[in-house]
Structure 1
């Protein structure tokens, strides 16, 4: 009697991940590893940060990173003007900056995509009203809108999420509305209508799968732009207020110490650069994997 050893089965999720990894090129693999590493650093910041990000030690202020004279043991990236550990503040700043960027981008995506989808499907006065709001949003510089909101409601985290969520929704609305109008004229949509499908069914099963690709691209652009916007507002002193650390606020405070302590700016600025690089490359990769038109070729 011959015994047959069963071949271990690989889970569908693992197979899908292997397929996506195999389809990625070299720079996309680097961006994937970098993006996952940044997310892990942000998620594990309370566990791996060597010090509390707000603890001050004036006798240890402006100490350089490891490898330089006057380096103080344990402060691997040096200390800032108040003696706070730069590495710990970068980790916590990365955590908060990524959270604000993702929250703002998700709010903008949901708001803009919903309005664009409604405008593209219903047409008429609904479409005119949505596009009028889009034109107004585009006509007014967003920096002025952000400054007005922050001046009225303050600079709390909730207000920052609101400000960042308002940013970019009009781009989603324009993209979705244009894609919906184009797809709505295609034969398979006409066939679905002739078969008695409702607007909701058509939108959910026929339109949304075909607009995922441009939405992914716009989402990644929004995340990168929101990181820069949050950094700009914090740089100007209008973002999250001290002692809470964000990458932008660290760059803003450290600019006065560039000639004598450049590490205060270099570390958070490098974090911002890595985040935007990883998000942009990952956006292109996700666009290629999510586009049903590319998969059908």
Structure 2
């Protein structure tokens, strides 16, 4: 007599293996994130060279192991003899600082506008959602290029441009959550008890917004890193000699055939940074979404 294998244990084993593999990836991403943040914070202590110091006698030296004159320059030197590893770590530091500042500005702007749109109906909500639709419809990279070309490429203007890059996502999330929370019985009870709009928003609405906003903040951080790198690559972001990952890739692209290490080190840091932030953002989303945890 032939018996068919029970598919349920198989399904459970596949699900367990999938969860185990995802857990390993998340742990690797967490370790990489800690490593990158630590390298950015302690960049001056990890390198023996000034990122702005030039030495034309040591220009275009390959990484250690490829040339006997490259001692001390573990990632080689660039076209002006500057240490690539030192510039990459300091560029990582600046890129992370700009991305974090831009994400915080977007969170504040989008969160406040979304809160107003969710609590106030009528013309306020219509006007804010019209701005959100306009932001989504227009490619923001073109807007950023126009603003930086007209107003200059100072760090202040760059932080402002990065800050308004993704505020519409926060506004949509906050508005949707506020509308959902507003229909809950405990909020109706708070209003019936005499609670004002500010107290209701602070005591009952904002605590429920922490989880989705943290997830969106993490996901937006990687998008801002890519945007800043793109603008710096095109020459409208961080200006030389100050290093950033995007500007290093942009300046080194002409030397790719003869000195690819100038581009490979900052490009690898950009890829690792965006990869780890995206993985951690997906992990936070899975942990915060109760519906995914129940499956």
TM over 0.5: yes
Cα offset for 1:294? 8.2
Cα offset for 1:259? 1.3
Cα offset for 1:189? 1.9
Cα offset for 1:28? 1.9
Cα offset for 1:296? 11
Q: Residues 195 and 71 from structure 1, CA distance in 2 versus in 1: closer, same or farther, beyond 3 angstroms?
A: farther
Query: Secondary structure at the residue paired with 1:239?
Result: coil
Cα offset for 1:261? 1.1
Contact in 2 for aligned 1:120/1:181 (Cα 8 Å): yes
User: 2:97 — aligned with what?
Assistant: 99
Which of 239, 263, 281 pairs up with 2:237?
Answer: 239
What CA deviation, in whole Å up to 9, does each residue of 1:140-168 have, x standing for no partner? 22122212211222111111101101101
Query: Secondary structure at the residue paired with 1:178?
Result: helix
Query: Within 2, Cα distance between the matches of 1:274 and 1:240?
Result: 20
Cα offset for 1:173? 0.8
User: 1:90 — aligned with what?
Assistant: 88
Query: Within 1, Cα distance between the matches of 2:191 and 2:122?
Result: 19
Cα offset for 1:202? 2.2
Q: What does 1:16-35 align with in structure 2 at a 5 Å threshold?
A: 25-35=23-33
User: 2:250 — aligned with what?
Assistant: 252
User: 2:39 — aligned with what?
Assistant: 41
Q: What does 1:1-297 align with in structure 2 at a 5 Å threshold?
A: 25-288=23-286
Query: Within 2, Cα distance between the matches of 1:258 and 1:206?
Result: 56
Contact in 2 for aligned 1:213/1:288 (Cα 8 Å): no
Query: Within 1, Cα distance between the matches of 2:192 and 2:50?
Result: 64
Query: Secondary structure at the residue paired with 2:66?
Result: coil
Contact in 2 for aligned 1:64/1:70 (Cα 8 Å): no
Query: Within 2, Cα distance between the matches of 1:129 and 1:75?
Result: 55
Cα offset for 1:66? 1.2
Contact in 1 for aligned 2:233/2:250 (Cα 8 Å): yes
TM-score by structure 1 length?
0.86
Number of aligned pairs?
A: 274
Give 4+ residue runs of structure 1 displaced > 4 Å after superposition.
Answer: 288-297
Cα offset for 1:74? 0.5
**Structure 1: any 5+ residue segments left out of the alignment?**
1-23
Query: Secondary structure at the residue paired with 1:217?
Result: helix
Query: Within 2, Cα distance between the matches of 1:49 and 1:293?
Result: 46
Contact in 1 for aligned 2:212/2:288 (Cα 8 Å): no
User: 1:6 — aligned with what?
Assistant: none
Query: Within 1, Cα distance between the matches of 2:253 and 2:89?
Result: 19
Cα offset for 1:211? 2.5
Query: Within 2, Cα distance between the matches of 1:151 and 1:237?
Result: 10
Cα offset for 1:289? 5.0
Query: Within 1, Cα distance between the matches of 2:287 and 2:97?
Result: 25
Cα offset for 1:290? 5.2
Cα offset for 1:71? 4.5
Query: Within 2, Cα distance between the matches of 1:283 and 1:205?
Result: 26
